[in-house]
Amino acid sequence: MSVINKPRRSVSKRLWVYLKGHWELYMFLIPGLLILAFFKFAPMSKIVIAFKNFKPRRGISGSKWVGWANFQRIFQEPEVWQVIRNTLEINLLQIVVCVPLPMFMAIMMNEITIMPIKKSVQTMVYVPHFFTWVVIYSIFFNMFGGMGSVNMLIKQFTGNTIQFFTKAGWFRLMLILSSIWKGTGWSTIVYLSAISAIGSETYEAAIIDGASKRQQVHYITIPSLIPTMVLMLTVRMGSVISGGFDQVLAFYNPSVYDSADILGTFIYRQGIGQADFSFATAVGLFESVVGLMFVLLSNFFSKRLTGRNVW
């Protein structure tokens, strides 16, 4: 018995010595762990609401148990399927546009050799990332709203204005443009780091062989960035069913509910707006399960395509 327990005690002792010697670093984990505990793990105990006909005056324990009835409503109500379709269409459209675009922007920024200009460009494209979606909506509404500068310019040439925020197709264009403006510049940081990791001797060999700048980008830079792009795509695919809530909530209005309402905003309207807490919780749990499936699938394909796991 002593032979079996001795290695275990030795491992525990080494772990304790390590933690004791680096306790300052682990102190930084405490705020994050507290946030996870209070805002992520503690609310999980209320998932049982999805299986009950929850009434606030009766409480969770006093509410009637209905089993899978709320989940059956998900598959019976056409509105839910329309919301799921909107969620997939909007998020996939944003992924198709917003994942490769930062790579090409990073390539262009990397070719700027005058440092003051390069730093100025980097600052301008990074700043929108720090704006909230409410601020971004205000900017876009002042530009593309009924009396916005873009609509005034269009009216001068055509005599009419375009309802960018009340027509389905134009509204989705607003979502794409705002996503590009807010996120593309910040995502270039990842690709610029990947470009800096490419060995300079590779470019030097290409120059000796007579490769032009375009050929260097085509045959060296872009192939070297493909694994990074696949990694970014994999990460974005993990949120394809649950992303976009903040943006859509700030931008949309009742006139575009049919084409812009996504799962996150639908859950918000059902739970907070209509006080249908049980059904909203059931839809939220359904969203989480489907989102987990996307995360696992994206991790699997990342392993197959790049040889590396994301998680």
| pLDDT at 26 exceeding the cut of 90 | no
251's CB contacts (< 8 A; 6+ apart) are: 133, 137, 140, 165, 171, 174, 175, 178, 260
User: Which tops the pLDDT comparison, 147 or 278?
Assistant: 278
Phi then psi for 64, rounded to 5 degrees?
-75, 135
Mean pLDDT of 140-151: 88
| pLDDT at 50 exceeding the cut of 70 | yes
What is residue 178's predicted lDDT score, i.e. its pLDDT?
A: 93
What is residue 131's predicted lDDT score, i.e. its pLDDT?
A: 92
Distance of CA 53 to the CA centre of its chain: 32
Cα Rg of the chain (Å, integer):
25
Q: What average pLDDT is seen over the chain? A: 86
Judge whether 72 and 59 are in contact, CB under 8 Å. no
Query: With bands split at pLDDT 50, 70 and 90, how would you rate the model's confidence at 1?
Result: very low
Q: Closest by alpha carbon to 280, among 85, 33, 54?
A: 54
Mean pLDDT of 249-254: 88
Query: With bands split at pLDDT 50, 70 and 90, how would you rate the model's confidence at 110?
Result: confident
- Dist. CA 237–CA 260, nearest whole Å: 19
**How do the domains of the chain map onto residue ranges?**
2-52, 69-306
Percentage of the chain surpassing pLDDT 90? 20
Instruction: Say which CATH class 69-306 falls into.
Output: mainly alpha
Helix/strand/coil for 239: coil
Using one digit for the tens of pLDDT, what is the confidence trace for 148-191?
889 899 888 888 888 899 888 899 999 999 999 998 988 899 89
Secondary element (H or E) of residue 216: helix 213-216
What is residue 297's predicted lDDT score, i.e. its pLDDT?
A: 83
- Using the 8-state DSSP alphabet, how is residue 167 labeled? S
Q: Closest by alpha carbon to 290, among 78, 75, 39?
A: 75
